Structures are given as C-alpha cells and as structure tokens.
Structure 1
Amino acid sequence: MPKTLKNVIKFVCFFGIGVLLIWLFTRNIKADEWEQIKVALRKANYWLLIPTMTIGIASHWFRAVRWKLLMKPLGHQPSTLNTFFAVMVGYLANLAVPRLGEVTRCGILAQYEKVPADKLVGTMIAERAVDLVCLILLMVITVITQLDLLGSLVNETIFQPVSDKIAHANGIQLLIGIVVLALFIVLLGWLLRRFARSKVAITVKNLIRGIAEGFLSIGKMEGKKKVWFFIHSVLIWSCYLSQVYIGFFCLQETNHLGISAALAVLMIGSVGMIVMPGGIGAYQPLVQKTLEIYSIPSAIGFAFGWIIWVAQTLLVIFLGFVSLVALPVYNKKKREVSLAQD
C-alpha cells in the first residue's frame, strides 16, 4: 500500500474518532445548555487570545531552543530559525497523522542543517522523556495541593483506565508478549553479529548507535547547558500554564479562577492532547469535567475548552504553514550569504 494512502487512511480514522468523541459528548447537551454555550461564546473577550497566542509562540520558540541544546553535545549547531520551523511543521503534521510530526521535524532538520536523522530521533526521544517527567511532576504537585478537589477526577480519568486495562489483561498474553520481545532482541543481536559486515547490519547498527547518542545527549551537556536546558523546560510549561490562566479572563464565568484551577486544567487537558492527535474530541470534555470541580457550569466549561483548543490549533496551523513557506526562502538566503562570505 502506498505511504501516502496509508497516511490518508490514518488521518481519516483518527479524525473520525475525534468527530465521534465530539458527537458522543455533545449529543446529551440540552437546549438550554446550548444556549448558555452560545451566549458565553458571543460575550467572550477574544482580544485576550492575542496574549495567549503570543505566549504560545514563545513556548514553541523555547522548545526549539531546548531541542537545539540537545544537538550541541553531538557536534551539531543548527540555526534556531530552522529548528523552530522544523518544530512547527512537525506540529502541523501531527494534526494530520499521529506521530508523523516527529519524523517530519527530524527530516526537515536533517535536510536543511545536515544533522544525521538517527541522532535527531534520539534527541527527540530524550525531549519527549523530559516532557513526560515534567507532566508527571505537574500532576503530583497539582493533586497534592488540591487532593480534596482533584483526587476523584484524576482517579477517574487517569488511574482507573490504566488499572482497568491491567486488570482485564490476560496474564498469559502479557507473558507471551514479554517472551516475544525478549526473543526479538536476542534474534536481532544474533543477526547483527552473524552478518556484521553486511550493508543492512551496518545501517541498523549505525541507526541504533545514533538514536542512543541522541537520547544520551542530555548527560553529555556541559554544566551551563544543562542549566539552560532545565530553564527552557520550565519556561515551556510556564507558557502552557499562562495560556490557560489568561484564557480564564476571556469568559466572565471563569475570570475569577486562579493558578490552582489553571494547573488542574493544564494537567488534565494535557492528557487529552496526548490520547488524541491535537486533542480533538478529548481535550474539551476533559477541560469541562475539570472546571465542574470549581463550580463552573458544564456549558461554560465546554465553551472554554473549545476557545482554548481552537486558539492553540489555529496557531499551530498558521505557524506550520508559514514555516513551510519560510524554510526554502530562509535557507536560500542563508546559502547566498554563506557563498558571499566565502
């Protein structure tokens, strides 16, 4: 099956799932609640979306700089603009096909900055691992500081689904899966040793080595670089939090909410962004459920979820397409300047 067709099928499937989730969630909304949603959306102060989207741009820029820091120990220092463009095109690709963005942004930087793609994959894995740790820390802090409010919601949306999957999992199936994985690793190792001089084996070894080097690049950073990596990680998540907090002021019904509520929305909403590409169909109901804990009517919570989600998504689409156009133009001028200097 052609790769393009596979990507189209993936997009249609995940988009369909998102639409289905939206329909399942909205089908029980009553007429008076729809009216509340419409009124809230009409009265919303959309001018406040300008600072939230500006902060969103800053978060993407900080992510690009942080990714660039991971490449320095590997002997590569791409331009910050190319790194930023690659990040934004990757986000745009993720809206179409899940996980395509990671491959896309690595491919773009490999093309324009000549950084080995395998090492880029490793740095990307390291970056995702750090983000996962940040999200877990955020969850722990948020739940501990608001245990009385959020305990049941976190259990319902995160821990219970995981425990249900584990409980319903067949022990024999899990054992078989572990054995198959172990056999695959042993077989791969044997094949690489048996055909060590073959072109395929050399390619696979180089790929594994490159990914490992990229993943371990955090440990290879100089002291100051590690500090800046930590600072940029904090800045990224601070931007995410600020977007939610400022977004509260868009609606009269949510403008009294504070940082604690913003932390909770960011924590639970991030789960929705992870489980569905771009959070479509999952982000809004999770945000609504979270805001209900803070005595926000479900219709208002639903409206707020849509406002924040649409703003973030439109920003990614706009910056993604701008980056696609800017990449060849910027790099052409960059080459011309380099040739002029030579």
Structure 2
Amino acid sequence: MSTATNPVGTRPTSGRVQLFRTGGLALLGVTLLGLCFLSVAVGTRSVAWSDIWAALSGQTETIAQAAVAVRIPRTIFAALVGAALGLSGTIMQGVTRNPLADPGILGVNTGAALAVVIGLAWFGMTMAHTFVWTAILGAGVTAVFVYTIGSLGRGGATPLKLALAGAATSVAFSCFTIAVILPRNDIAGGFRSWQIGGVGGATFDGIRLVLPFLLAGFVISLLSARKLNSLALGDDLAAGLGENVALARGMAALGAILLCGAATAACGPIGFVGLMVPHLCRLLVGVDHRWLLPYAAFSGAGLLILADVVGRIIARPSELAVGIVTAFIGAPFFIWIVRRQRVREL
C-alpha cells in the first residue's frame, strides 16, 4: 500500500487514511452548508420557504423576508467567528502543549475585553476599527503576560501552571473590567450585552471591518501547521531538527491572537469553543496540524452556528446569546476533560 510522508512528529499515513481525512473534511463542509441554511431558515419568527428563497434572492418586501435577510449576515458572521475561535484554541493548545488551553481559560478573551473597555471609558474611543486594534493589543499583551507568569519557577511553562495563571488573570481582569464600567452608566448597558458574547445584530459592514484581521489570522495559522508539528516534539528536539523554536511559537501565537482579538472585538468574549473543538477534531484526525487546523476551522464554524440556532429556539419569542449556549455546553465538557485526562503535555 502506498504511503504519504507526514511532517516531523507524525507516523507515515496510508492512502486510505488520507482519503478518509479528505472525505471527512468534505463531509464537514457539506454539514456546515446545511447548518448555514438552517440558521437562515430558523429563528424567533417562523417563515415560509417562499420567503426564504425570496430573501436569498435579495427581496425584503415582507416582514418574514426582512427577518431572513437579517439572518444572512448573522450566519456568515457566526461561521467566521466560530472558525476563528476553533483555530485559535487549537493553536494555543499546540503552542503551549496544554490540553486545557483556550482563549477564555487562558484569559486572552478577558484581556481583549478589558482593553476595549479601557479604551471606551478612559480614552473615548468611537471609531469602529480602533476597537479591533485595541482588542488585538489586549489579547496579545495578556497572552504574553500569562505565558510569562506560567513560565516562572521550576519546570517552565507546564500545562497546570499555565491554566492556573490564565484562570487567575481572567478573574483579575474581569474584576478590573467591572471596576472601570461601574462609574460609567452611559456605557454600562451596551457593555453588559457585549460581554455576554453574541452574534445578533451582525451586519455586512461589521463583517467587512473585521474580515481583514480574520483573514490574516487564518493565513498565518494555517501556515504554522508544520511548525506546530515540530513543536509537539518538544523544544529541544525541534531545535535539533533545525526549527527556530521562538520564531515558530511566535508566528503561531500571532495568528491565534489576531483571530481571538478580532472575534472578541466584534462579538464579545465567547468561551469554550476553542476548548471543545480541538479535542473533538483530534478524535477524528489525530494530532497532525496540517489536518487538525482545517478540521478545527470547519467544526468551530458549525458549532457556533448550531449554538446560535439553539439559542433562538429554546427561548422563543426571545433568544439566548450564543455565549450563554456555548457556556452551557462547554462547562460540562471542561469538567469531563479534567476528570478523564491527565493535565499533561499534548
């Protein structure tokens, strides 16, 4: 049987396995398209098939057609944000070799949110693009801070130390955020709804604002796949094989920070997507990041769209923000990971 040579750190993979992975990725793509159509068709208002097709063709003559037209950018936005969170979580787990790594658990989401709040409350930010840059800056500073704290002491940046440093940072930054917001009643209401994390109210203008940052993050992340495979072997062995460990880790982390920061600026901190998706994808394709990253992007997009649809259905005629739905799903998943797996390197 013919074999394909995998990158450093993975075993040779048979053509049958490659075909299985390719077919699985295609199936995920078809499933994602089905979820997109479900998101357009299902909501707090029931619509007829004729209204769906009319809205997809650009007509908004009736209330039902207008409702469907509003769901189209919301669906696209949810897919982009879900893919960004799934990819960023996978990269953070690969860079830190920590199965508990996630933008929320490591405090990166909270750092991005705190930066936005400080810019809004203290510096009077009003331009939309400044929110994105500020969130990315906050995410980057927080990631460096957590990794530095987790690296102190004997043993360096172990998974347990990183998780503890991230949890402590997240709690501290959440308190700082509340302290900044409390005296500002003029922005408190809008911030609370944003802090929950949701994709409602998405527009094509908002998508165009964050799209360049997301695309840059996607490209950098996917180009880091082979480097992440090398890092999985350990720093010493990766360096012995000719890999620039610091550059590889920094490049991959940059992609994750761009994705996480842009997503947080656009829709607020949405947790647990970056934790669940990588673990589920590893069950399907293993630890080869050449496959794991595309799977994570498709799975993250599908998961967030599905969570958004569930949030619209279970609270009719109102709806639950997608951040609440992912928290309900992700919290038990996090407990399961802690109970069933040893918190060690990937």
* Structure having the higher Rg: 1
With the length of structure 2 as denominator, give the TM-score of the two structures.
0.28
